[in-house]
Amino acid sequence: MTTWWHPMVRATARRRLAAERAAALRRVDAWQPPLGTGLWRTAYGESCDAVLAYDRIVALVPAGPVRDELAGRRPDLLAMLDRVRYLAENGAALDPAGPVRDAELLALLAEDPHGDLGQQLGAPPSHLLMDALAAVRGAMWRATEEAARLAVHLQENAGATDTAIWLTALAAGVVSARRADWAP
């Protein structure tokens, strides 16, 4: 009989979990990880938004090598999202409501005759996780913004000075025509 601790069973389970996680990341589902309803969920959702915005931008880039290159970079964003998920899951396990001290605890400590001990507590340890998460989220959004700048650049026409030159010349032409009595 093969039991759950058998190496083959555990390896299969690990592969299945990895496949499930990869599939979830491909979907970029903000509701998939168990993050509760607080700050961790919001921070993860904002990170998912970076990938979704990236996808929308890539879809607007004209077909060609630039678009292919941008599409090829998507796994990098997913890897960063995986990191965000890891940090958020740990944060949610430590402080489900977010990296903030419990308000009731702070109120009780404030009543202590020896002084407001709540001030001495400082930030909860999970704030380090939130800081790390914010850094990765920031990197994700910077990548998305660069994609947007590139998409805009492809739509720009650096030589778009012809309209002004054309109209200025045309106005001068009307003046010449009038002087030469060519126009009514």
Using CB under 8 A, list all residues that contact another protein: 28-31, 36-39, 41-43, 45-46, 48-49, 52-53, 56-57, 59-60, 98, 141, 144-146, 148-149, 151-152, 155-157, 160-164, 166-168, 170-175, 177-178, 183-184
- Yes or no: say if 143 and 81 are a contact pair by the CB < 8 Å rule: no
Question: 48 or 118, CB closer to another protein?
Answer: 48
Cβ-based neighbour number of residue 50 at 10 Å: 24
Q: Tell me the closest approach of the beta carbon of residue 146 to another protein, in angstroms.
A: 8
Place of tokens 């492809």: 154
Q: Tell me the closest approach of the beta carbon of residue 86 to another protein, in angstroms.
A: 18
Cβ-based neighbour number of residue 60 at 10 Å: 13
Kindly tell me the sign of the dihedral angle through the C-alpha atoms of 89, 91, 94, 97. Answer: negative
Q: Tell me the closest approach of the beta carbon of residue 55 to another protein, in angstroms.
A: 9
Q: Tell me the closest approach of the beta carbon of residue 62 to another protein, in angstroms.
A: 9
Q: Which helix (H) or strand (E) holds 45?
A: helix 39-60
93 by Cβ neighbours in 10 Å (0-12 / 13-18 / 19+) ranks as middle
Question: 53 or 132, CB closer to another protein?
Answer: 53
Question: 9 or 79, CB closer to another protein?
Answer: 79
Question: 100 or 117, CB closer to another protein?
Answer: 100
